[in-house]
Amino acid sequence: MLSRVKLPPAMLVAFWAALYLPHLFAGQTLPARDVAVTQIPWRTVWRAQVLSGWAPLWDPASSGGRPLLANPNAMAAYPGTLLFLLMSPEAAAGWHLALHHLLLLLGHYHHPGSLTGIEL
């Protein structure tokens, strides 16, 4: 049986904060090609439609027009997309990614065998 030392959750959060918070609070956009090419444009259209009172069903600016709500990659119905109503698209994209990585770290802290199949 392997024995490993579990880091306390506070240390995982501190590690996450050291990686992400300096960039997020400095207003820097995290480098990710798909985010810049697809996610930010989709979320910008989504935000404009929601703020104008329309259901985000269609994206007229993407490839001559395509479904927005029906496109799972656009994540128009995903709860994390609400961040795009609170801040600029670039900042929201960074926070969206950072918060998902924080949830990943904390989730694997509570379920360590899910990656290796080894009970710790």
Encode the chain (120 residues) as per-residue pLDDT tens digits: 455 666 678 888 999 999 999 988 988 777 777 888 888 899 999 999 999 999 999 999 888 899 999 999 899 999 999 999 999 988 999 999 999 999 998 887 777 665 555 555
Q: Is residue 99 part of a domain?
A: yes
12 domain-assigned: no
Structural domain contains residue 68: yes
Number of domains in the chain: 1
DSSP single-letter state for residue 62:
S
Distance (Å, whole) CA 14 – CA 22: 12
Per-residue pLDDT, 7 = 67
Domain membership flag for residue 22: no
Domain assignment present for residue 120? The answer is no
CB 71 within 8 A of CB 83: no
Is residue 6 in some structural domain? Answer: no
In a domain, 63, yes or no: yes
Q: Where are the alpha helices (DSSP H) in the chain?
A: 9-25, 33-34, 40-51, 83-86, 89-110, 113-116
* Structural domain of 59: 33-110
